[in-house]
């Protein structure tokens, strides 16, 4: 395990004053859900944000879309504390959009591949998206290959890279003694997930990673998903069952020689159809599984 808190502290001490620069306020309203006395989950337009509050200031895990950074900053100002750290769970813009502005005065931490992908043009063909390179202020200044530990506001945060799940740069954050985990987009609560196959994601890898994470948790663990409501271990286990079962259904159909169109027409067992109520519907989820299993673009 990599302990680099001393490096982070030196960077933290050089941070600029709160509120550096002016940004437009989109009017986004962030819903704050209490997780523990000093940890909360913020729900806006993008991925769920974890907020750690205390005498040392504020720590964020992810920071929503770029358009909402002004509203997020205004929300944080009401906490009467200085943002000190942002941990990015991966590179997608609904989790890192606030980096460019907040990174002017907050230390950003992420996996090595997050910095690499943010610094270069990217494409997500499934959504027809082309993403331009991010400015220097948006790039993580502390990166790691496997894991790091950050000690802040009485919590030890173990930030662990789980390879080739949602992307190739995913991190999951474990809080102790709070007994909380932020899953990033390894976990979409109650809905089919997006797996970015073109950028290092893999449905089998996601299922394996979630299984490994479950082994680290207990029935009292509070689970913050990348998208969806605050969850429990039971909820996460149901999600893992969905991953394993639906992947097996598609794999069996591929092994029988069915085409993608035929598998989509066949659909998934009725038990899982309600999981398509999110932004990834059943047909798209089948296509993602198929693409991952066959590595078809």
> Within a domain: residue 52?
yes
Number of domains in the chain: 1
pLDDT digits (tens, 9 = 90+) for 180-219: 999 999 999 999 999 999 999 999 999 999 999 999 999 9
Half-sphere exposure of 16 (CA within 13 A, CB side): 9
Q: What is the pTM of this model?
A: 0.92
Inform me whether the pLDDT recorded for 91 exceeds 80: yes
> Within a domain: residue 81?
yes
> Within a domain: residue 208?
yes
Grade residue 10 by pLDDT with cuts at 50, 70 and 90.
very low
Mean pLDDT over residues 48-59, rounded? 97
- The encoded tokens of residue 137 equal 């202020």
**CA–CA separation, 88 and 115 (whole Å):** 10
> Within a domain: residue 211?
yes
Inform me whether the pLDDT recorded for 143 exceeds 90: yes
What CATH number should be reported for the domain holding residue 176? 3.60.15.10
> Within a domain: residue 249?
no
Angle at 285 between CA 222 and CA 115, to 5 degrees: 65
> Within a domain: residue 248?
no
**CA–CA separation, 173 and 41 (whole Å):** 13
| Structural domain harbouring 92 | 5-238
Judged by average pLDDT, the poorest of 5-9, 40-44, 172-176, 222-226 is 5-9
**pLDDT for residue 203:** 98
Inform me whether the pLDDT recorded for 49 exceeds 80: yes
């Amino acid at each position: 395990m990599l302990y680099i808190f001393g490096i982070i502290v030196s960077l933290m001490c050089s941070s600029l004053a709160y509120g550096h620069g002016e940004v437009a306020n989109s009017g986004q309203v962030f819903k704050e859900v209490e997780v523990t006395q000093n940890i909360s989950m913020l729900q806006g337009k993008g991925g769920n944000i974890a907020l750690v509050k205390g005498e040392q200031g504020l720590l964020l895990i992810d920071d929503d879309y770029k358009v909402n950074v002004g509203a997020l900053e205004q929300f944080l100002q009401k906490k009467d504390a200085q943002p000190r750290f942002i941990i990015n769970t991966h590179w997608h813009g609904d989790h890192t959009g606030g980096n460019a502005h907040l990174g002017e005065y907050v230390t950003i931490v992420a996996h090595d591949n997050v910095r690499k992908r943010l610094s270069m043009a990217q494409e997500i063909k499934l959504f027809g998206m082309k993403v331009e390179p991010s400015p220097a202020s948006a790039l993580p200044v502390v990166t790691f290959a496997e894991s790091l530990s950050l000690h802040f506001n009485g919590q030890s945060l173990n930030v662990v890279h789980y390879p080739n799940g949602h992307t190739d740069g995913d991190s999951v954050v474990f809080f102790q003694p709070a007994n909380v985990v932020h899953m990033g987009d390894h976990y979409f609560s109650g809905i089919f997930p997006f797996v970015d196959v073109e950028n290092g994601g893999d449905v089998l890898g996601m299922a394996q990673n979630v299984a490994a994470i479950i082994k680290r948790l207990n029935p009292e663990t509070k689970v913050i998903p990348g998208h969806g409501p605050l969850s429990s271990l039971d909820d996460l286990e149901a999600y893992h069952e969905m991953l394993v079962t639906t992947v097996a259904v598609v794999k069996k159909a591929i092994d029988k020689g069915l085409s993608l169109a035929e598998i989509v027409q066949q659909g998934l067992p009725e038990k899982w159809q309600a999981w398509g109520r999110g932004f990834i519907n059943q047909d798209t989820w089948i296509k993602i599984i198929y693409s991952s299993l066959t590595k078809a673009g």
